[in-house]
Amino acid sequence: MDRCVVFALSLLVSVAAFAQDPLRNLSGTSGTPGPSPWVRSGAFFHAFSAHVTHVSEVGPDDPRSEVFSTNWIALGLQHDFGNRFFLLARGRVSLEPYTIPEDDGYPQTLQYVSAEGGGPLIDRMRPHDLVGEAAVQVGFRPSASTLLHVYAAPVGDPALGAPPAELRASGIDFAEAPFSYDIAETFHDSTSVVTAGFASKWINVDASVFHDAVTFGEHTEIPDGDIDSSSARVTLTPTPNLALQISRGTLGEDANEREVSSASLSYGTKNVALTALWTRREAQTSPSETAYGFEVALRGSRNTFMGRAEWVDRPLGFPETLDPTATEQATHFAVGYIFDVLTASRYRAGIGVNVDYHTQSHELDERYGHKPQAIYAFVRLRSGS
């Protein structure tokens, strides 16, 4: 489909997938558990997060010490037409192409990003794209508890997987990306996305067609390309604070076709956020890859504790000699703490640290030394919701 046609559709049809609340649903049509406050017609909203981080390594003979910033901001405007129709314009951008080294990303020991994910990168993580989402959305409610929707965006998130890690309530306070990024996260920044579906109080069913896009270099362009991918997702919400999703998608075409399956459980309250996520990628010319794990955030009035555990497949022989015909599993842990010096209703500002730990590193001591660790000390500012 021509990109001009898709862009025109995005100006005419689209939808807020799960509820009218834009702060609850910041990415595509994915649903995030938690209370869903009413948003009045004509309301302007924003949500944002920014870390300014100093990372230092312990273990390697030549440890790295760098400063970078991970960040994003989402903006939108909603208008209701009576009690049944609503229009929601929404966008999300990140300045990471300018706040992270464009050639090789920021240091992240034992990270792996393939060429399909915007690499190849080893021991570093790439910036997010300048434009993460741009959409105009419309929905129709047959009743007070049901919604019919069509979502369209030149840049957006298809109906596949859980929300991106940096937007999840359980992941927003980490200064670094998950080690499962290459398997579980790369499809969130797609282009020419069109999604349609049905939502009720208990279930949300949606399906997408899109272009499986990836950026390189400066990460500021919007990749062109025909629609070549599709996906479908079912999300169950037995309570407002709990969401269970299962989805499957096909990325690319012909010899480059990959199948992606995802399942997740998310729980969220004012003080606790938890996500358990499983993702599998299957390709015609390479072995299947699986990533699974969980992350948790515990929040008090000024103190936040977070943890993340991941088990991720990567090419055999990592990092020296990558064998694409076989995989091996790596285990990664990250723990962190933040003390908020500002806790206004709309903003939270604090200082914190998170530290990585890797269980298989003793096999790689010639490159990484004994028990390598990366320590991320940061200042974090984000919206309070």
Regions of the chain with pLDDT less than 50: 1-23, 36-39
pLDDT tens digits, residue range 26-52? 788 887 776 544 345 566 677 899 999
Contact 26, 47 (CB under 8 A): yes
Strand partners, 106: 125
pLDDT tens digits, residue range 198-207? 988 889 999 9
Residue 90 in tokens: 């929404």
pLDDT score of 14:
30
> Whole domain around residue 177: which residue ranges?
3-383
Q: Which contacts (CB < 8 Å, 24+ apart) does range 33-41 have?
A: 33/237, 33/240, 33/241, 33/242, 33/243, 33/266, 33/267, 33/268, 34/169, 34/240, 34/241, 34/268, 34/269, 35/240, 35/241, 36/240, 39/78, 41/78, 41/79, 41/80, 41/86
Sequence-ordered list of residues with C-beta below 8 angstroms from that of 228, at least 6 positions apart, any chain: 211, 212, 251, 252, 253
- Three-state DSSP class for 362? helix
pLDDT score of 44:
66
**Bond preceding residue 319 cis, omega within 30 of 0:** yes
pLDDT tens digits, residue range 281-338? 998 888 999 999 999 999 999 999 999 999 999 999 888 888 888 999 999 999 999 9
pTM, to two decimals: 0.88
pLDDT score of 72:
95
Element (DSSP H or E) covering residue 96: helix 96-99
Place of tokens 């834009």: 22
pLDDT score of 13:
31
Please state the domain count of the chain. 1
pLDDT score of 28:
87
**CATH number of the domain that 13 lies in?**
2.40.160.10
- Three-state DSSP class for 365? helix
pLDDT score of 39:
47
